[in-house]
Amino acid sequence: MRILIVGAGIAGLTAALALLRDAHDVEVYEQAPRLAELGAGVQISANGARVLFALGLEDAIRAVWCEPAGKEIRLWNTGETWKLFDLGAESVARYGAPYFMIHRADLHGVLIDAVRALKGDAIRLDARCAGFDDDGRSVTLHLASGARVTGDAIVGADGVHSRIRNILAGDDKPEFTGCMAWRGLVPAEKLPAHMRRPVGVNWVGPGGHVINYFLRGGTIFNFVGIVERDWRVESWTEKGSREDCAADFAGWHADIHAIIRNIDQPYKWALLGRTPLTRFSSGRATLIGDAAHPTLPMLGQGANMAIEDGIVLSRCLSAYDDATTAFARYDAARVARTAKLVQGANEAAKRFHNPALADAAGARAYVDTEWSEARTKQRYDWIFEYDATRVAI
Ligand SMILES: Cc1cc2nc3c(=O)[nH]c(=O)nc-3n(C[C@H](O)[C@H](O)[C@H](O)COP(=O)(O)OP(=O)(O)OC[C@H]3O[C@@H](n4cnc5c(N)ncnc54)[C@H](O)[C@@H]3O)c2cc1C
């Protein structure tokens, strides 16, 4: 089939690669004039890694990733530390695939190279989608330039402010969650020596949490700090100041302030919640990635879901002769899982920011219960065990 994908983010490129490997003809229409990703990290758990490796990207990813030995929980003010889970060999033994951290630009670059190796001109830049028609036999993509492109099916991979979702499902009504996310990168050599350990850390505290981990073989440190505070601009590129960020973490541990002091440029992103859709597809059009199921970042699963979507979508389009049936099967495979992940991310905020974490004694009791080995397994195993390369379609 000739598949038109709107958006060259992680979702659109993973789907393009999977479809090209399955011998479909694919074109990706990206609004940006050049391909670039943000300066930020992303955590890829076993469910996402399994797909990327199945798509032949293992060597390219290993060259740029950072594989932590494990994850820790740390208390916001005292820095008291608990093991959350082991990663490294343990993730591979338990889930059959690694858990790794990667710079978004590096993952994006690996996907772009792989797509272009199969079809050199697959990615069309400066090509903003304005709308589309579906006449039941084919689809026509309308570009803002006035150009029209015809294909067998259209895939909206156009992110959280998706035009295609808007056409398929109407205006969504995002609700401010009361939280905003700070993000920034720090050159590793600027951190105190005791912080340069190969572990990912989830700092938890009343009204906020911080996620940090290393990227690019340990040379860059990624910071995401989420606080309960008013800020309504949902954009990855809105700049903030180190002073403002530090003020949001007043009273937090010195290690947090050592990070914030050394962030190159902090950015701030409003966290808006959206009710999960009950279907992603209509006729010959469907949605993947954040366009389908925008989520809060609390479980680190937005990009992982996008990657899972890509391969399931490709499997469906290869298994069924017509796009409408393929997309109905894709919905059947994906809607419930992604809604459960979106819901899980909503609930995680309450745990990470719980008032019980305010003082050390209350925090110990809370952490021992909420992050016990049994609870942690119950919360994460179903996420990491999912095999998008084999799930029933
Ligand atoms: C603070 C934070 C931390 C996160 N950390 C993690 C993590 O650790 N692990 C994880 O799995 N996920 C994480 N996520 C989520 C993850 O970043 C997203 O889920 C993922 O990037 C979505 O990819 P996408 O391709 O669907 O969308 P995007 O990356 O937004 O790509 C959409 C693309 O479509 C293009 N586009 C938009 N409109 C049009 C149009 N009309 N025409 C043509 N092109 C268009 C855009 O320019 C863009 O290139 C995090 C998110 C946040 C906010």
For residue 39, the model assigns a pLDDT of 80
264-285 tens-digit pLDDT:
999 999 999 899 999 999 999 9
Residue 344 clears pLDDT 90, i.e. is over it: yes
Ligand 1 mean position, distance from CA 302 (Å): 8
Task: Give the tens place of pLDDT for each residue, 13-58.
Answer: 999 999 999 999 999 999 999 998 778 999 999 999 999 999 999 9
Query: Counting Cβ atoms within 10 Å, is residue 360 exposed (0-12), middle (13-18) or buried (19+)?
Result: exposed
- The proportion of the chain whose per-residue pLDDT surpasses 70, expressed as a percent, equals 100
Q: Ligand 1 pocket test: which of 13, 30, 209 has the largest number of ligand atoms within 8 Å of its C-beta?
A: 30
Could you tell me the distance, in angstroms and rounded to a whole number, from the CA of residue 372 to the centre of ligand 1?
32
Quick one: which atom of ligand 1 is closest to the CA of 292? 26
Task: Kindly report the backbone phi and psi dihedral angles of residue 121, in degrees, each rounded to the nearest multiple of 5, phi listed first.
Answer: -110, 25
Q: Are 159 and 10 in contact (CB under 8 A)?
A: no
Does the Cβ of 268 fall within 6 Å of ligand 1?
no
pLDDT of 268 reads 96
DSSP of 233-296, one letter per residue?
---TT-B--HHHHHHHTTTS-HHHHHHHHT-SS-EEEEEEE-PPPS-S-BTTEEE-GGGT----
**Distant-in-sequence, close-in-space partners of 61: CB < 8 Å, separation ≥ 6:** 52, 53, 100, 102, 107, 110
Atom of ligand 1 nearest to the CA of 294: 19
Could you write out the DSSP letters of every residue in 166-213?
HHHH-----EEEEEEEEEEEEEGGGS-GGG--SEEEEEEETTEEEEEE
Which of helix, strand or coil describes residue 331?
helix
Interval 145-186: pLDDT, tens? 999 999 999 999 999 999 999 999 998 889 899 999 999 999
Q: Look at strands 2-6 and 100-103 and give their pairing.
A: unpaired
Predicted pLDDT at 349? 85
Q: Is 213 a residue of the active site?
A: yes
- Tell me the β-bridge partners of 103: 41
Number of C-beta neighbours around residue 273 at 10 A:
18
Determine whether the shortest distance from the Cβ of 31 to ligand 1 is under 6 A: yes
* 179-215 pLDDT per residue, tens: 999 999 999 999 999 999 999 999 999 999 999 999 9
DSSP string, 2-59: EEEEE--SHHHHHHHHHHHHTT-EEEEE-SSSS----S-EEEE-HHHHHHHHHTT-HH
Listed residue (176, 172, 367) closest to 287, CA to CA: 172
| Active-site hit among 29, 95, 213, 386 | 213
pLDDT at res. 38: 79
The residue count of the chain comes to: 393
Q: Supply the residue whose CA is at minimum distance from atom 52 of ligand 1.
A: 297
Give phi and psi for 132, each to the nearest 5: -160, 160
Enumerate helices (H) and strands (E) in the chain, giving the number of each: 12, 17
Tell which atom from ligand 1 comes closest to the C-alpha of 13: 25
Per-chain mean pLDDT for the chain: 96
pLDDT digits (tens, 9 = 90+) for 228-254: 999 999 988 999 999 999 999 999 999
